[in-house]
């Protein structure tokens, strides 16, 4: 409550006597409620109670690169193929292989292993796969499975999933979300550092090619 001005101010103190008289008859706890309500109104007026804006998701064009503190990733190609044992994927009846070719550079300061449920695979989500990890990760040049990505050395990497034969089609637009990860440093029970907590940061799309038996 604003205190009445002293005698040195131009306004007579008598003008505020009714305020003091009224407040004497109001229970103290009411003031807390009134103050809280006033705060909420003022805060809402300035947007203070609105939901915090989420991170901005960037739409990349064809061949666009997404770069964060861990990886620089470019989606290059996506294919459907009848089978792909060379990539470490083995299909059953009624299944085919969806393979995504990416160019990736480890921009962190330590080697990073790229295996089916690693921070690399968690950095990408394909629409229609419900966040499923790939069945295999391999280098494109020499077919090394679950390769180690060295800092500052770009590599083409193939991520492959066994999918139902009719789940995807030739010339279908394959939408991909690229995630940013957070570096965690363990202490006490958990030691070391690891990347986790994927957050969508960019989207891109590539046309799916059906190459049948793969030649």
Same domain, 42 and 70: no
> Is residue 215 one of the residues assigned to a domain?
no
Same domain, 104 and 141: yes
Of the three residues 13, 36, 53, the one that is the final residue of a domain is 53
Q: What is the CATH number of the domain that holds 76?
A: 2.60.40
Same domain, 43 and 148: no
Residue 40 pLDDT greater than 80, yes or no: no
Same domain, 202 and 103: yes
pTM score above 0.95: no
For residue 7, the enclosing domain spans 1-53
Same domain, 46 and 87: no
Same domain, 75 and 123: yes
| 39-66 average pLDDT score | 69
Same domain, 88 and 187: yes
Same domain, 78 and 184: yes
Same domain, 151 and 196: yes
Choice among 32-41, 62-71, 101-110, 172-181 with the minimum mean pLDDT = 32-41
188 pLDDT band, cuts 50/70/90, is low
Q: What percent of the chain has pLDDT over 70?
A: 72
3-state SS track over the chain: CCCCCCCCCCCCHHHHHHHHHHHHCCCHHHHHHHHHHHHHHHHHHCCCCCCCCCCCCEECCCCCEEECCCEEEEEEEEEEECCEHHHCECCCCCEEEEEEEEEEEECCCCCEECCCCCCCHHHEEECCCCCCCCCEEEECCCCCECCEECECCCEEEEEEEEEECCCCCCCCEEEEEEEEEEEEECCCCCCCEEEEEEEEEEEEEEEEEECCCCC
Residue 214 pLDDT greater than 60, yes or no: yes
| 188-208 average pLDDT score | 87
Same domain, 77 and 145: yes
| 90-108 average pLDDT score | 97
Q: According to the model, what pLDDT value does residue 49 have?
A: 46
């Amino acid at each position: 409550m604003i205190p009445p001005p002293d005698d040195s101010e131009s306004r007579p103190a008598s003008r505020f006597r009714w305020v003091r008289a009224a407040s004497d008859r109001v229970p103290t706890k009411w003031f807390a409620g009134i103050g809280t309500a006033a705060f909420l109104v003022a805060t809402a007026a300035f947007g203070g109670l609105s939901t915090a804006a989420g991170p901005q998701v960037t739409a990349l064009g064809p061949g666009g690169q997404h770069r964060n503190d861990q990886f620089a990733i470019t989606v290059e190609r996506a294919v459907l193929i009848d089978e792909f044992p060379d990539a470490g994927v083995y299909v059953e009846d009624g299944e085919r292989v969806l393979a995504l070719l990416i160019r990736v550079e480890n921009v962190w300061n330590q080697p990073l292993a790229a295996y089916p449920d690693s921070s690399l695979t968690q950095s990408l989500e394909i629409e229609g796969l419900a966040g499923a990890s790939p069945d295999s990760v391999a280098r494109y040049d020499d077919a090394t499975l679950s390769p180690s990505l060295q800092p500052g050395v770009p590599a083409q990497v193939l991520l492959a999933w066994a999918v139902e034969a009719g789940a995807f089609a030739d010339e279908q637009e394959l939408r991909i979300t690229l995630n940013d990860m957070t570096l965690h440093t363990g202490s006490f029970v958990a030691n070391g550092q690891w990347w986790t907590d994927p957050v969508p940061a960019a989207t891109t799309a590539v046309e799916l090619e059906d190459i049948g038996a793969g030649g």
